[in-house]
Amino acid sequence: MKLAVAGAAGRMGRTLIEMILRSGDLKLAAALEAPGSPAIGRDAGELVGNPCGVKVVSDPANAVAGADCLIDFTRPEGTLAHVEQCVKKGVRMVIGTTGFSAQQNERIAEAAAKIAIVLAPNMSAGVNVAFKLAETAARALGDGYDVEIIEAHHRHKVDAPSGTALRFGDVIARSLGRDAARNSVHGRKGQVGERDPKAIGFHAIRGGDIVGEHTVMFAGEGERVEITVRSGSRATYALGALRAARFLSGKDRGLYDMQEVMGLR
């Protein structure tokens, strides 16, 4: 399977390139960077100490033309531009970008009527198992337990809360029959009053080189249940993205997530 990687010179891009070059069944077909990047023209493999003959380019149309699937962990605007090119070329996509608006998500859903797309806020196998555990816990514990979601990431992350934290909130809200948007509380300061029993709290920590940590807390009378996932390497996300790309092999269209990739739904 021939893969193209968007954001090739970034932290996730370099990890993806390394994992692809180390795999036995996947081939790096293209490496894409934004115009003006100092990586353009370089051998993509050199970015990870393994020259491969694939040059980093800035033209999305050329990058996807020779690929079966594009893996994209960039920014919403860039990802949507890549979606347009993939639709034109009939190329599948694995999207790990977060921070999409509702309207942007609709555009991706429309594109999935023409090409196969895996869209997930977190590609980690462990995190996706934790989504399932959180769903089960919420249904079993019910309204007697207060829900708080705490996430921590490196200082360079630009969106908060993380897409993963928001997905935990959505999963739990559906399980409890709540409206995620209306019942979400983001941080607290000052005289906020007694806690709304239906609130789902979110707290974001940013600092250092934290790859990603998420804890879902169900706090009840006399006990607290916590589900925690700590990622120590971006390799977990990259390996999940490659698993998603393999899942799309042979699929012509449709919008999927990692729960489907992993057989959890």
Catalytic residue numbers, as ranges? 153, 157
Rounded distance between C-alpha atoms, residue 120 and residue 128, angstroms? 10
Rounded distance between C-alpha atoms, residue 233 and residue 246, angstroms? 21
Strands 69-72 and 56-57: what pairing? unpaired
Report the candidate in 2, 5, 10 with the shortest Cα–Cα distance to residue 234.
Answer: 10
Residue 197, preceding bond cis, omega within 30 degrees? no
Report the candidate in 98, 12, 2 with the shortest Cα–Cα distance to residue 47.
Answer: 12
Please state, as a whole number, how many other Cβ atoms lie within 10 Å of the Cβ of residue 235. Answer: 15
**Length of the chain (residues):** 265
Rounded distance between C-alpha atoms, residue 124 and residue 141, angstroms? 25
Rounded distance between C-alpha atoms, residue 243 and residue 52, angstroms? 22
* Contact call for residues 30 and 23 (beta carbons, < 8 A): no
